[in-house]
């Protein structure tokens, strides 16, 4: 289950960016998660809860914003949303496609409790 190591990394990233010297708990963490990562959101949420135990992040809600897989065709220049397995351009059928979104895994917001 690689979701547990990812959850631990998210918790550590949040902890490193908390304001120094303030005793404020984290209410929520918003994560942009690309579908190309093949991470099961429910598993990640469960693992995040486990990984945050005993930290300032404990009890925080993990909010996941899914990012669809989008590609660009190098031959015809068309942009399109792709499935999990990118194979060919939906416009011209060429296999020369480039991933332009869907591989994200970024903490984009951390909500803290009131002081």
Write the burial class of residue 82 (CB in 10 Å: 0-12 exposed, 13-18 middle, 19+ buried).
buried
Supply the pLDDT for residue 95: 92
Distance CA(52)–CA(64), nearest Å, equals 16
Q: For the segment 51-63, what is each residue's pLDDT rounded down to a tens digit?
A: 999 998 999 999 9
Tell the residue number behind the tokens 């480039």, with chain if given: 98
55's tokens: 């930290």
Q: For the segment 5-37, what is each residue's pLDDT rounded down to a tens digit?
A: 999 999 999 999 888 877 788 999 999 999 998
- pTM (two decimals): 0.84
**Backbone phi and psi for residue 74, each to the nearest 5 degrees, phi listed first:** -70, -25
Write the burial class of residue 88 (CB in 10 Å: 0-12 exposed, 13-18 middle, 19+ buried).
middle
Distance CA(101)–CA(112), nearest Å, equals 29
Containing structural domain, residue 88: 2-17+25-112
Coil vs helix vs strand at 92: coil
Supply the pLDDT for residue 84: 74
Number of domains in the chain: 1
CATH of the domain at 9: 3.30.2320.80
């Amino acid at each position: 289950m690689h979701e547990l190591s990812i959850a631990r990394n998210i918790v550590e990233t949040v902890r490193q960016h908390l304001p120094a010297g303030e005793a404020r708990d984290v209410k929520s963490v918003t994560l942009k998660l690309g579908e190309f990562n093949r991470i099961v959101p429910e598993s990640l949420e469960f693992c995040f809860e486990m990984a945050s135990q005993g930290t300032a992040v404990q009890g925080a809600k993990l909010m996941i914003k899914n990012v669809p897989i989008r590609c660009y065709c190098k031959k015809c220049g068309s942009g399109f949303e792709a499935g999990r397995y990118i194979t060919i351009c939906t416009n011209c059928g060429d296999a020369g496609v480039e991933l332009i979104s869907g591989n994200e895994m970024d903490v984009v917001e951390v909500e803290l409790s009131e002081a």
